[in-house]
Structure 1
Amino acid sequence: MDSVSRMELVQHLETAFAAGPVTSAGLLDAATVSAARPAVLAVLEQLPKRSYGTIRDLWYELPDLPVG
């Protein structure tokens, strides 16, 4: 299975932050709606259960995720 990249997360979550901060559950919902593959959903399920203000906040929680 291919690893998940930051760019792939951005593709699936680019509209999730349009209305402001998003919870980890909201990110998972957005990725599901955008037909993210199971590996992406698995990465998002590992996030701490809290709100994230921007997509960049995810990189603090996922520092080893490759860029592209």
Structure 2
Amino acid sequence: MNVTRVEIADAVGDAFDTCPANKDDLLAWATANRARVEVIHALQQLPEATYHAVRELWPHLSDLAR
């Protein structure tokens, strides 16, 4: 997977400004921010959960470049 943590953070970081976000919220943010298809595919691998900060995504996306 050719996606970096920076790309993920750029695509969905603002989702955490006002409240926690779930997988669907993150996918919507990434789509609205015109993230690359590879970023969307990476986010689709996340388990269904509520996330309170972007750093909570990293354990589920361990194959990303730092």
Alignment TM class, shorter chain as reference:
over 0.9
The alignment of Structure 1 onto Structure 2 pairs a total of residues equal to 66
Q: TM-score, normalised by structure 2?
A: 0.93
User: Cα RMSD over matched residues?
Assistant: 1.1
Identity, % of aligned positions: 36
Paired letter, 2:29: A
Aligned residue runs from structure 1 range 13-32, under 5 A = 13-32=12-31
* Structure 1 segments unaligned to the other structure (5+ residues): none
2:11 is matched with 12
Distance 1:27 1:65 in 2: 17
Moved over 6 A (4+): none
Distance 1:42 1:24 in 2: 12
Q: TM-score, normalised by structure 1?
A: 0.90
Query: Larger helix proportion, structure 1 or 2?
Result: 2
Aligned residue runs from structure 1 range 29-44, under 5 A = 29-44=28-43
